Amino acid sequence: MHTLGASDRLRNLVDFLLHFPTREQLVVYLSQNICPKGELAGVSTGYLDDAGIINFEFFYGFNDELPTHKTVKITDDDPTAETLRTMKTTVINLHTIYQDYDQALEMPGITDYGTGLGFPTTTRRLYAFAFVGENENFDGFMEYFECIRSILTFWETLNESKSIKQMPKPELLDTALTQRQERILELINAGKTNATIATQLGYSESLIRQETIIIYRKLGVDGRRELKKAVAS
């Protein structure tokens, strides 16, 4: 099984945006499709209002369920605020985010991730990403991420003052299971818990959790119960 290359992911993103998604649909798409390693990413987007408050509207792909709305002051010692203040891509070590930033946004489970990225797309809009992999594992992908930022900046600029048409819920473009996902699926079907699978395969439990979410989506099931029924049939 293969993982899509960077050029394919960029081309698919452009094709997706040509269908006029809502921002919520875009956040879902980015979460499912944009990680260069083929893993589910935590994604959110925020908007700076006239009072200097960054309002986060959507969250998708995170390990823990998050509130639908969170806010940060543009003056706070927070990486997302820093992203809009500097208008530069911000790379964050999420394991130490609360040591590195005194006023970082409280997000349950965020330190389970390795790398965070913040993209400013306009002077008022940003996108934030959380990846399982460590910072050094993403060093070779920064040009790829800057391309994503440029695409999102272009799209946001075009649509800043337009209403965006609704489109059907986006699906994963790469529906084939990776070798790791196939092995995890075997262990799920054997009745193993995420914790047991993580120990057996040598990965973190949070990574196994994310991979199972992708497996369920690729197979069109909602969870282990439906998966067992699908396998049994």
- The mean pLDDT value for 29-58 works out to 90
Among the candidates 159, 190, 216, a domain finishes at: 159
Structure token pair of residue 215: 């497996």
The total number of structural domains that make up the chain: 2
Is there a domain that residue 33 lies in?
A: yes
Q: Identify whether residues 218 and 151 lie together within a single domain.
A: no
Whether residues 152 and 98 fall in one domain: yes
pLDDT computed for residue 164 by the predictor: 46
Q: Which residue has the higher pLDDT, 72 or 134?
A: 72
To 10 degrees, the CA torsion angle through 93, 98, 104, 109?
A: 80
CB 216 within 8 A of CB 227: yes
Q: Among the listed ranges 2-16, 56-70, 86-100, which one has the minimum average pLDDT value?
A: 56-70
φ/ψ (deg, to 5) at 203: -115, 170
Based on the domain organization, do 228 and 137 belong to the same domain? no
**Which of 47-51, 59-63, 225-229 has the highest mean predicted lDDT (pLDDT)?**
47-51
Asked if residue 140 is part of any domain, the answer here is: yes
In this prediction, residue 1 carries a pLDDT of: 41
Residues 138 and 200 both lie in one domain: no
Same domain, 148 and 183: no
Does residue 171 sit within a domain?
A: no
Q: Which letter does DSSP use for residue 162 in this model?
A: S
pLDDT mean over 99-112:
87
Q: Are residues 22 and 101 in the same domain?
A: yes
Domain harbouring 211, CATH code: 1.10.10.10
222 falls within a domain? yes
Question: For residue 165, is it within any domain?
Answer: no
Per-residue pLDDT reduced to its tens digit, 153-163: 999 988 765 54
225: confidence class by pLDDT, cuts 50, 70, 90 = confident
Which pTM value belongs to this model?
0.69
CATH of the domain at 48: 3.30.450.40
Pair 151, 196 in one domain: no
Question: In terms of domains, do 45 and 116 share one?
Answer: yes
Q: Are residues 78 and 155 in the same domain?
A: yes
Please check whether residue 127 is in contact with residue 44, taking contact to mean a CB–CB distance below 8 angstroms.
yes
Please provide residue 66's backbone torsions phi and psi, each rounded to the nearest 5 degrees: -110, 155
Q: Which two tokens stand for residue 167?
A: 């489109």
Could you tell me if residue 168 is inside a domain?
no
Domain shared by 120 and 196, yes or no: no
Domain assignment of residue 221, yes or no: yes
Q: Which domain holds residue 203?
A: 179-232
Q: Which is nearest to 104 in space by CA: 179, 96, 230?
A: 96
